[in-house]
Amino acid sequence: MISYTIPVIVDGRLIGVAGTDLSLEQRAKELDSRRPLGGSLYMINREGNWTYHPDHALLATKATVGDGPQFQLGPDELDRVLKVQSYEVERMDTAGHRVRRYAVPMTFFPGDNRRLLLLDVPVEGLSAPFAGIGTAIMLAALASGLLVSLVLVAAVRAIIGVPLARMARVVDTLERDEAAPVPDTERQDQIGGIARALVRFRGALAERDRLRGQVEERTTALERMLAGVGAAKDAIVLFDRDYTVLYANPAAISLLGAPDEAAVVGHRWLELLTPETVALAEEGRLRRREDLLATGYAHTINEGWESIWGRTMEVYETTLSLRPNGDIVLVLRDVTATRRAAREREELQRQVLQQDKMEAIGRLAGGVAHDFNNLLGAMLGYVEFLLDDLDPNDKAHSYVARISAVGKRAKELVSQILTFARSDKGELQAVSPVAVLEDARGILRSAVPATTEMIFQIAGTVPNVRANPTQLVQVLMNLVLNAHDARRGEGGRIRIRLFPGPAPQDARVQEGRWAEHEALPFDKSRPHVVLEVEDEGHGMTMEVMTRLFEPFFTTKGKGRGTGLGMPVVYGIVRAHGGGMMVMSAEGEGALLRILLPIGGPGTVAAPLAAAPIVKATPPRRLRILVVDDAAEMGDMLLEGLSRRGHEVAICETPAEALEVFEESPMAFDAVVSDQTMPGMTGMALIALLKTRRPDMPCVLYTGYSERSDEKAVLAAGADAFFLKPVVVERLAAKVEALCAAGPPAVPPSAATPNN
């Protein structure tokens, strides 16, 4: 059998093949009886295969080629057969007879050029009596062969030509995207099969176009997704079930520090990390795997990550998601900077809250101390009056003396409260901290029992600081006493270290064994000196460290502490522009570090001793105006100054004092005023009075004011400054001295005091 086929081409595109099968055996039988002039007919295609041969065993076989009768084609013939060209040649057949071969192309339709008809005619037959009509016979034979071919062509056209024409018209309609029924689908022969195949093919074309559109759409979406993944800053990695890397975006390659993608893809993820990293993340990895299998999603934040190429992350965030096919998508992000910023923000917020709390407590303490000073000043004043009036041998005199001693202790307590609350840092000078420490060594040694060992360490050349030496000694005393009270048992050691900054990071804090609290922030880039006091006591929790400098907060037993020592330290260090840090762990001792900014050259000046109270008779009687909104304080000053022989007028408000003064500016020899009063401060009042009487002595006293220290008060126009509680004898002596140094006062008749 052979198949006669015609390709179906639409718009230059092959859409199928149409044809039919022809039996070579049947066609050979039809041609076997046709032997013109005793010769033989052959058919051969342009591939050199016999489509007809008298020897049916050679049908569909390839012709043999060579010189000699044993070969079916000569070499020259083969070339013409392959080109389907007419030729005529004389050759010897296998029986040794000379034959003449005529080759004629067989064309079934225009453009068909695929086969040749061969006619072998014996030469002897041509030269016999019929030689005269040889040409006619040959032509007749050729005509016979052509007739057979035409019959075959007609048969083929009748069998498949008309159906194919109908199908061609259907194909044309399909090409125009027009719906048209396909004919001949009901036929049971091969034409019907072709028609049904064309129907299926039409459906396949539509499905193919639909799928092609989906593929193009999804390809575009995939390309966009890959572009986004490639541009992502986070590391994105795709694993299979065994965590073998299938894909890694550029950010992942960069995060790992790998030389290229090939060094990552195809390797198991854990092989790309150091053993230490794998060990640290093992517990979290198992938990992530459980979450992943349970919910298809897992998220963790871990610390300590390093790749085999040396890239590290202090803190990293991992997000895993499970895909339907079992693959795993990992999103890895370095959150070291974010976590560090969050910790710094939390620490800053805590410091701000702590500072706000300390400021609020300071204002509260200052206000309480101010009011208490008024009461205490009045009480001590009257106590002094009683001591003056009572006979020293009288039993009541001893009681009053005890009251005076208790009042002075209360005065010291209020002074400590004010030291914490007030920003006043006293008079500053260039101070050698080494000299301060050496001077304080004896005081500290006497304050601490001999069972406690004190170690003083001074490292390097310690520069001078600008400070108040008396307050620095007070700071040292409070820190050492607090360290002594924290000891466990009767012994222990206290280390006092002094060295130039900056201070190194404490190893115990670095290792996480101790906690660190920055109680008073300080710019460590500024040149500074470090003073440390370390004990081996009970230690502190973070909660205790954050409350250490609150007034009246103490962890000591009842009756063992007032809770004011550390607040005083805080107030002094803050007033000096310094910083403080506390490092400790419960049960392991504590270290308190103070940072003081460096000042200029200078030496330590010894603190001035308080001048003794001199009760002398005043040189003359003065007219004094006292301005104080606290009645008890004003009454006490009225009594005290009157007992000195002076004439005193009391005004409870600055407005009242101004009104009295305006009535008679020359009525008073001096003015004594409180600082904090309703409507106007004492400094503002003195400034107004000085505009009218620049020569009039003015004295200011106060219990608490953030803006009032001796330097500021004197610069504002006052002639003297006192802190409550005021000792009347000292105040009177100062007023008398100021008036004695000034111009003579007006006659008494000019005064119109308002009592």
Where is average pLDDT lowest: 32-41, 235-244, 568-577? Answer: 32-41
Q: What is the pTM of this model?
A: 0.40
Rounded Cα distance, 40 and 94, in Å: 13
Q: What domains, with CATH codes, occur in the chain?
A: 2-174 (3.30.450.20), 232-334 (3.30.450.20), 349-421 (1.10.287.130), 429-597 (3.30.565.10), 623-750 (3.40.50.2300)
The yes-or-no verdict on residue 569 having pLDDT over 90 is no
Tokens of 684: 């503002």
Would you say 239 and 252 are in contact if contact means Cβ atoms under 8 Å apart?
no
DSSP string, 219-230: HHHHHHHHHHHH
How high is the pLDDT of residue 710?
75
Rounded Cα distance, 271 and 59, in Å: 68
Q: Which of 130-139, 554-563, 691-700 has the highest mean pLDDT?
A: 691-700
Q: pLDDT tens-digit profile of 202-217?
A: 777 777 778 888 887 7
302 Cα distance to chain centroid: 14
642 secondary structure, DSSP code = H
Q: What SS3 class is residue 196? A: helix
What pLDDT band is residue 124 in, cutting at 50, 70 and 90? confident
Alpha carbon of 132 to those of 37, 61, 138: distances in Å?
Answer: 13, 37, 11
Q: pLDDT tens-digit profile of 73-98?
A: 998 898 899 988 889 998 888 888 88
How high is the pLDDT of residue 452?
82
The yes-or-no verdict on residue 651 having pLDDT over 90 is yes
Where is average pLDDT lowest: 313-327, 445-459, 520-534? Answer: 445-459
Q: pLDDT tens-digit profile of 311-370?
A: 888 888 888 888 888 888 888 888 888 888 887 787 777 666 666 666 666 666 666 666
Output the average pLDDT for the chain: 78
Residue 261: count other Cβ atoms within 10 Å of its Cβ.
15
* Average pLDDT of span 42-59: 87
How high is the pLDDT of residue 294?
79
Identify the residue with better confidence: 19 or 229.
Answer: 229
* Average pLDDT of span 284-304: 78
| E-assigned strand segments in 36-134 | 40-45, 50-52, 87-92, 98-106, 115-122
Rounded Cα distance, 660 and 139, in Å: 161
How high is the pLDDT of residue 602?
42
Alpha carbon of 48 to those of 60, 99, 135, 610: distances in Å?
Answer: 9, 21, 28, 138
What pLDDT band is residue 530 in, cutting at 50, 70 and 90? very high
Q: Which of 22-31, 270-279, 359-368, 398-407 has the highest mean pLDDT?
A: 270-279
How high is the pLDDT of residue 17?
66
Would you say 16 and 201 are in contact if contact means Cβ atoms under 8 Å apart?
yes
The yes-or-no verdict on residue 754 having pLDDT over 50 is no
- The dihedral built from the CA positions of residue 545, 551, 553 and 559, taken in this order, carries a sign that is positive
The yes-or-no verdict on residue 533 having pLDDT over 80 is yes
What pLDDT band is residue 704 in, cutting at 50, 70 and 90? low
Q: Which of 5-14, 250-259, 380-389, 736-745 has the highest mean pLDDT?
A: 250-259
* Average pLDDT of span 727-736: 88
* Average pLDDT of span 684-709: 83
How high is the pLDDT of residue 130?
47
How high is the pLDDT of residue 706?
54
How high is the pLDDT of residue 276?
86
619 Cα distance to chain centroid: 77
Share of the chain above pLDDT 70, in %: 70
Rounded Cα distance, 72 and 104, in Å: 17
Q: pLDDT tens-digit profile of 168-182?
A: 666 666 656 566 676
How high is the pLDDT of residue 541?
85
Q: Which of 377-391, 405-419, 543-557, 608-622 has the highest mean pLDDT?
A: 377-391
Rounded Cα distance, 554 and 688, in Å: 46
The yes-or-no verdict on residue 59 having pLDDT over 70 is yes
Would you say 706 and 686 are in contact if contact means Cβ atoms under 8 Å apart?
no
Rounded Cα distance, 745 and 17, in Å: 139
Q: pLDDT tens-digit profile of 478-505?
A: 888 888 887 766 678 889 999 998 888 8
How high is the pLDDT of residue 747?
40
How high is the pLDDT of residue 18?
64
* Average pLDDT of span 591-604: 74
Rounded Cα distance, 240 and 265, in Å: 11
